A and B are shown apart, each in its own frame.
Chain A
Amino acid sequence: MLCDECGRNEAVIHIVQAGPNGRTEHNLCEECASHYSDLILPYSGRNKDMSMNDFLKGVFSAEEPQKIEQEAPNDEPDALVCPNCGMSYEDFQHTGKIGCSVCYQTFRRELFPLLRRIHGASSHRGKIPHRSGSALERKQHIARLREELKRTIEQEEYERAAELRDEIRALELKEQEGGGADGTV
């Protein structure tokens, strides 16, 4: 790669700056870089960092209570109580910690908007417990294949798309035959 500044010599120094105006990159040769002592020392520690705690505070400070109410107009989420551990939704809002696995069922509807705010998503796409999840694993597998199918069609890779369609059909057939077909329970 040639130097951005003089365009003649090989660039040996690569500097990325993420300033208020976005990300800029400089590739400089030794000679040009030596004129840029302030590029090598470009920042004087402006404190713009966001710690995990600030991030969490932002997430939990209930800035969208009206939205939650709109989604569940007849419920009062604060009054919800988990039948297993006795935790109320209000407790959760105070501590930011869930009480038990059953709480997740109890506060399900209230939690989804929150999850979207924290993670930008509300659907698990990762590992699934094998023992309880063989049917689930298949479902997730099918969902992934469908995504890929959509992509291949968009990119006009019809041969691959046909393969994927067959694979999906076979899996769906298995699903209709009942969960334990592959030997796991």
Chain B
Amino acid sequence: MGLSDLIRESTLPWLSGAGEYGDVVLGSRIRLARNFQRIPFPGRADLNQLATTRLMVERILPGIAKTLGTSFIVADMEKLPKLSRSVLVEKQYISAKFTKNPQHRVAFVSNDERMSILVNEEDHLRIQCMAPGLALEDSYELASRFDDLVEEKLDIAFDEKMGYLTSCPTNLGTGLRASVILHLPGLVFTKNIQNIVNISPQLGLAIRPIYGDAKESFGNIFLLSNQLTLGFSEAELIANLKTAAKEIVSHERQARKALSLYMKERLEDEVYRSYGTLRYARLLSEREALSLLSKVRLGVDLRMMETPTAKDFGRMLVRMGDSYLRNLAENENLSKNEIERLRAQKVREILLEKAPRPQSEPIEDI
């Protein structure tokens, strides 16, 4: 697997639909923020200092890769075309911030795509580990292992009282940001999502929609993360997030059950209409596609239909991205109409792979 595969593929391992609580938890992510002693943090460093940091990491990385039994794909922001960078942002291997000033910003993505190491993001080092389903502990262990291997060779900025020193004081202490990605159509349709949003800060957690903003979101996909990083151990922070995630899962399942009991016919109608639109539409905006896809996935989870599978759901999510589609067409300046056409086509392709095709249905023209 190389850099071009990483950009082109639509099957992301961390969105494979496998893993515990996979009917609600799409994936888990751990991020550790680390810095080196004395070198100014990237936001304040000059080009020489940025280059130094980069060189320090590049020197120790081969040894770490060997110990971990993996290899890393190098994504050098300076060399990568803008479009490819946006695709990596869409796939969540890098942050949008990372692409703004590309000088000496390099991402190292492990071959199995479980790990993504960002050099010179907001902190010198950001160690990210991803896994499908609810799998925070495994991901933390991997991230922490990587951190140990770095620390064997390089001096990490650390203070007895304040913990790991980070560019933003909101990450101080553990430098840990643990997140889970949740699909919550049940809580959104039963209008209970606001309760979760309201309670989260009291639990030291933050929840935000992944698509759209707090005022208006679509796709019913949310990111739940710890807000506090200091004063608790990593295990405590992860356990707290995990407990909350499990509770949300059980509320989501209850809500789905309620919907399927009391609004069965309407729900079924919505699910099949959504499927029909995804299957036959010729133009799809991202917003419409995500809303439809969410309903179809709900229908699959409630066993109203068998396909698309959870894995296909993940593939469709990737294929809906503007940057993914522009990159596929090798045209940065695709018109809105062209993107919507391509999106409809790419979604349809997946639905056609497995859909049992009734005899009477007309044959697809694309």
Contact = CB atoms under 8 A, between A and B. Distances in A.
B198 interface: yes
Given A119-B172, A121-B230, A130-B151, A100 B38 contact: yes
A71 to B, nearest CB: 16
A164 B296 CA distance: 56
Given A126-B233, A126-B234, A101 B157 contact: yes
A18 B199 CA distance: 7
Interface residues of B, number: 66
Interface stretch (A2-10, A43-51, A145-153): A43-51
A123 B169 contact: no
Nearest to A105: B159
Nearest to B34: A129
Interface in A109-134: 111, 114-115, 118-133
A52 interface: yes
Q: What range describes how many residues of A lie at the interface? A: 35 or more
Interface string B220-264: 000000011111111011000000000000110010011101100
B167 A15 contact: no
Given A119-B230, A120-B228, A131-B152, A13 B159 contact: no
A114 B230 CA distance: 12
B40 interface: yes
Nearest to A44: B191
B112 interface: no
A156 B163 CA distance: 34
B44 A85 contact: yes
Given A100-B44, A122-B161, A123-B161, A115 B198 contact: no
Interface of A: 12-18, 23, 30, 33-34, 37, 40-52, 55-56, 59, 84-85, 87, 95-102, 104-105, 111, 114-115, 118-133, 136, 139
7 contacts: A14-B254, A18-B199, A23-B199, A33-B258, A102-B38, A115-B162, A126-B173
Pairs A-B, 7 closest by C-beta atoms: A121-B231, A124-B163, A101-B157, A126-B174, A119-B230, A49-B197, A100-B40
